Structure 1
Amino acid sequence: MKKLFSISLSFLLFSTFSVFSQEKNLVIENIQKEAYENSQLEILAHELLDDIGPRLVGTPQMQQAHDWAVTKYKSWGISAENQQWGEWKGWERGITHIDMVYPRVQTLDGTQLAWNPGTSSKGVTAELIALPKIKDSLSFQKWLPKVKGKFVMIAMQQPTGRPDENWKEFATPESFEKMKKERDEQTKAWDENIKRSGYDRRSIIPALEEAGAAGIVDSYWSKGFGVNKIFGARTKKIPTVDIELEDYTMLYRMVEHGDKPKIHVVAESKDLGRVPTFNTIAEIKGTEKPDEYVILSAHFDSWDGGTGATDNGTGTLVMMEAMRILKKVYPNPKRTILVGHWGSEEQGLNGSSSFVADHPEIVNNIQAVFNQDNGTGRVTT
């Protein structure tokens, strides 16, 4: 009898496990099938990255993206809302036009930095000067009045726009080491020169503005071919622009040779005052343990030098597509699946940290978190 019961129980357990495994495998197969055969990633990417574009916190485009995501989730039958976590400086980018107007005319490749005040419609025309060789803070203070009415160049003149790895690929070992050593030494000397002023790369900018500079000209090279990093301005009243490496180094050489180049800058941005800022939250409610949470996570905001595709459009779209597929294939999960599209991550994890502070009942019951913010390529961790 015991033997018969044992055999029967074993058969029952095997049968139950077999059915469970088959159901589990079927769900996985259906998820893969939906992802491979009916992917919405391309159209989602077009709508978010091409049509809406960059998502700088405080801009109309950021708000448009939040609203778009909520509408998209609801169209899939997923509950979603924008949750306000604070306020930010409202700002809208307009057209930036930068031209060299002396000693010859050339349109330059550059843009205004984020949250920077706009110029008048007539723009600003002024001579360019570069930071001098600084002996100490006293000598810098004596030089400082010379910036009045001029655009000040605050970035180092790069010896080349080619990345190190490209030099290494085509150069002899001796040539590569020589180039790299010279670049490293020049960078170190530049940083030490600014330090002797009594300021650092950031704090020197307000000092130049206070001294009467007409504007700030930067060139924050990414160390990649033809790409600069566009972040936020540190001036309150005067224009701050970033000029592409090749144009910037041309202007720098002209300043060094005493050509006294002049540029004309028009920046049509708008100050929108304080505006509310949000996280977009969507969820598929759990059926057995609705108060336990599996979190999908990706920051929604971006800088606005590009469309924000890599950082973090990729993560945003992956999480949206995952939610769409789960709702279609696995609509009744045991635990609640919640996705957070965080605002203002780039300025210090503001959206996600606010969510943590506002929702301890969720945070204390998290079972797993999947965050995506590593750009393109295969997810490896």
Structure 2
Amino acid sequence: MSESAPPPPADAEARIPLFADPLAGWVNHDILLDKDARRRLGAAHPQALRVLDWPELRALFNKHEAPANHHARRDRRLALASVLVGVAALVTAAFAPLSDVGAGTAWPVVPGALAVLLALAAGVLAIGQVLAARSNAGWLGSRYWTERARGLYFQVLVNNLDLAARAMTDDAALGAWKRTRAQALDALPPAGDLAGRVRDMTRDVADDEVWIVPAWRAAPPAPEPSPHLDLLLSCLRAQRMDVQIDYSRRKLGDSLATPRRQADAARRAAGALTVAAVTAAGLAGLLLTVGFTPHALGVRAVVAVAAAAAALALGLRAVNDSLFPASDLVRYAWYNAAAVQARAQFDSGDLEARIDALRAMEGHAYRDLRGFIASHTRPR
């Protein structure tokens, strides 16, 4: 990073402790949503803060960010609860026959009734999840809007570098810069059209809608070099590239709370439970072969273990597919690699190459958003 670059976020590139949540306390400091991010930039480069702080965008971003986060958490809780209760019903049913030892009854009433109630509860939760899924377009629309707003923040800068650089010290240019931003803000999709935009994005396989303002598809002429332009480009590198690389690395990191590590742990546990189920089933067959009757306690016990292990493995796989879809993990890895490549192009090139790298980053961010939308609209 050049000497004129703004200070990175305090936690950028930091190693995350093994048991820590990698996104705990994460804020959208790439668009200066956090007060501390604005304070740090203002302390280091007050002239850059004049251009990079966008209060109107921040207010609208927060308006859509809250419902998107709320609905995402609700869907995750419903999915997890329905699977857990369903697995509890299967495990209870698997071990229920063992409770009649010495009681002379073939199907114990209390464990059987509990298994039925748990199964009914799981069904109700599953229905609730299906009904809630109908509002997916709503929360995905809010998420779509926030990411398009994030893109607009950088796209208006990349396509107006000369004006933004002059606005750092020229009040007249600053007024023109704010008017340009206000006009660009009008290009964001209206709230009533978000569900339709989400559907359209799933069909946009040619990246036709990377640029929010269609006129920006063609790159403007490169501005004249200047110290203020160098500072502005360094800020864009830090905010657009460094922050996204840090975010994707946190998702793919070594902390046990990352999606990658949790998905790996769930897969290994499901595999071990599958082996346990098959082993217990084989042991039951062996016991029957050597003369034990199907009603013998040993046979019933290993059959119960086999059924419970299979239910737990099935539940873990369902949770894994729902909360940590493989497509998301692949997307995180691709996006990280694309952002790293764009940053390398920025660091090694001349002015035009740096601008090209920033424009390429907008394409990467759009494809990442499109992958996110596709992952969360397909059934799981």
Superposition TM-score, scaled by structure 1 size: 0.25
Which is richer in helix? 2
Which is richer in strand? 1
Superposition TM-score, scaled by structure 2 size: 0.25
